[in-house]
Amino acid sequence: MIINIFYIYLMALYFISSSFFGVLSLPFSIHDGILLISLLVIFTYISSLYKNIIYEDRHFHLFFVYSFFMSAIMAYINFGQPLTYGLRASRILLIFSILIVALNIMLKNFQIKKAHMFMLFISFLIMFINIYVYATGDTSMLVDGIGVLKRLGEIRVIIGTFTSIVFVLYFYYALKEHKWMIIPLVGLLFTMIVIAKTRSVIFPILIILLIPLLRAHKAQVFKIWMVFGIIVVVSFMISGYEKSILSPIIDLVNLLIEESQTTKHSNVNVRGLELAYFLNFLDTKSFILGYGMENKLFIEQYTKHFFLEDIGLFKILYLHGVVGLLMYIAMLWRLYVVSKVSDSALHMTGRSIVYFQILSPSSVFLYVPEYMLLVFIVYILIKNENKRISMIE
C-alpha cells in the first residue's frame, strides 16, 4: 500500500515540477507544491529515515543549504535586498535539499521497470504537444505561450525539453533489454532536432549518443540512426526539401556556419558579451561568494541588458561565487562516481547527465525543478542499486 502511495507522490511531484509542460496554470507556486509533498512524505514516514541519509548525499545538501543562506546574505550586501526577500528568492535550493530526503524514502524499494509505461506516456505527450503546436501554429493550449519561440523564420516549440534529455539517455541505453524503446527514442530525437532546434541540447545529446558507436557497441545502436535516417529520406522524397524534416536540420547547420563567419550578431558573440558584462561586476567579494539570487522586485539590478540564463555555469559563479561553483561541481562528481559502478542503462544515464552538463556549458538546469527532480531520481536509484550490488558481492 505504501509503495502505491509513493507512486502517486512521485507522479504528483513530476507533474507539479514540470508545471504540466505549460499546458495548465497551477493555482499555487511550483516550489511550494514540491515542498508540501516532500514534507508530507518525511513527516508521514519519518520512521523510514535511516542514520546516514543526510551524509550519503552531503555533496548535495552542502551546496543547497550553503547557497540558500549565502545567497540571501550576498544579495543584501550587494543590493540592499531585504533578507526575507532573498530567502524567498533562493528557497528553491533549500526545497531541493528537503526533496532529496523525501525521495530517499519514496525510492527505497522503487523498481525503474515499473515506471516504463509512465515514461512512455510522458514521451508521447511531449511529442504530441510539440508536433501539434508546430504543425498548426495553435498555441491556445499553452499558458502565456510558454515554450514557444521563433527561429529560422518559423515557430520553435520546446515543451518538455528537460524531461526529453533524461528520457532519451535512458531509452538509448535500455535498448539492449527493451527493443520497444526505439519508438519513443526516435520520436523524442525527432522533436528535439526538427521542432525544438535547441543547439545547446541537440549537439551534446548527439555527441553522447555517438560514444557507444566509437566504443564498438552492440549493433542495435546503429538501428536508431538507420530508422531516423529512413524517416528523413522518406520525408524528403514525399514532400521535397521545403517541407521535409531535412529542411530545419540543414537550416540549423547553415545558421551555425553563418554565425561562425560573423561576429557581430552571432549567438556565440552575444553570449560572450553577456559573460563579459556580468564578469565586469564581480569584485573579490562577489567572485568568491557571489551576488546572490534576485527577488523579482529587485531583478533590474541584476539583468539590465542581458540574461543570466544565457551564460550557463557562469550563472552559478555569478550568483553563488566560486565557492558555490566548486560545490556544484562536487555534486556532479558525486553523481559520476556512483554511476561508475556498473554499465547498466541506469548507471550509463547517470554518467551521461554529467557528460551533458560538461558538453553544454552554456546551459545549466540547476534552477529547473523538473530537471533536478529527474536527476535526483536517477541518482538515488543508482545509489540504491549499488547497495544491492555490494550485498550480492
Q: What pLDDT sits at residue 108?
A: 86
DSSP of 81-119:
--HHHHHHHTHHHHHHHHHHHHHHHHTTT--GGGGHHHH
Residue 2 lies in a domain: no
Best CA proximity match to 375, nearest among 129, 64, 149: 64
| Predicted confidence pLDDT, tens digits, the chain (393 residues) | 556 788 889 999 999 999 888 888 888 889 999 999 999 999 988 888 888 889 999 999 999 999 999 999 998 988 888 899 899 989 999 999 999 999 999 998 888 888 899 999 999 999 999 988 888 888 888 887 777 776 556 677 778 889 999 999 999 999 888 889 999 998 998 888 878 777 778 888 888 887 776 555 555 556 656 666 665 566 555 544 444 455 555 555 555 445 444 544 444 544 555 566 666 667 788 789 988 888 766 655 555 544 566 566 788 888 899 999 999 999 999 999 999 999 999 999 999 999 998 888 667 778 889 999 999 999 999 999 999 888 776
Residues 121 and 192 in one domain: yes
Single residue among 190, 220, 255 that ends a domain in this structure: 255
Residue 14 lies in a domain: no
Residues 115 and 145 in one domain: yes
Chain-centroid distance, C-alpha 265: 27
Residues 238 and 149 in one domain: yes
Best CA proximity match to 302, nearest among 312, 284, 290: 290
| Total count of residues recorded for the chain | 393
Residue 270 lies in a domain: no
Residues 204 and 175 in one domain: yes
Residues 115 and 207 in one domain: yes
Residues 158 and 81 in one domain: no
Residue 273 lies in a domain: no
Residues 123 and 242 in one domain: yes
The rounded distance, in Å, linking the Cα atoms of 323 and 186 is 40
Residues 246 and 186 in one domain: yes
Domain count, the chain: 2
Residues 90 and 129 in one domain: no
Residue 1 lies in a domain: no
The grid cell for 216 is: 564498438
Residue 189 lies in a domain: yes
Q: What pLDDT sits at residue 243?
A: 47
Burial of residue 104 (CB within 10 Å: 0-12, 13-18, 19+) is: buried
Residues 128 and 238 in one domain: yes
Best CA proximity match to 311, nearest among 336, 258, 283, 274: 274
Residue 165 lies in a domain: yes
Q: Which amino acid is at 364?
A: V
Residues 141 and 251 in one domain: yes
Bridge partner list, 156: 149
The rounded distance, in Å, linking the Cα atoms of 318 and 119 is 35
Residue 370 lies in a domain: yes
The grid cell for 237 is: 522524397
Residue 340 near residue 63, CB atoms below 8 Å:
no
Task: Give the domain range for residue 244.
Answer: 111-255
DSSP, collapsed to helix, strand or coil, labels residue 311 as: helix
Residues 248 and 131 in one domain: yes
The rounded distance, in Å, linking the Cα atoms of 386 and 199 is 34
Q: What pLDDT sits at residue 366?
A: 82
Q: What pLDDT sits at residue 10?
A: 92
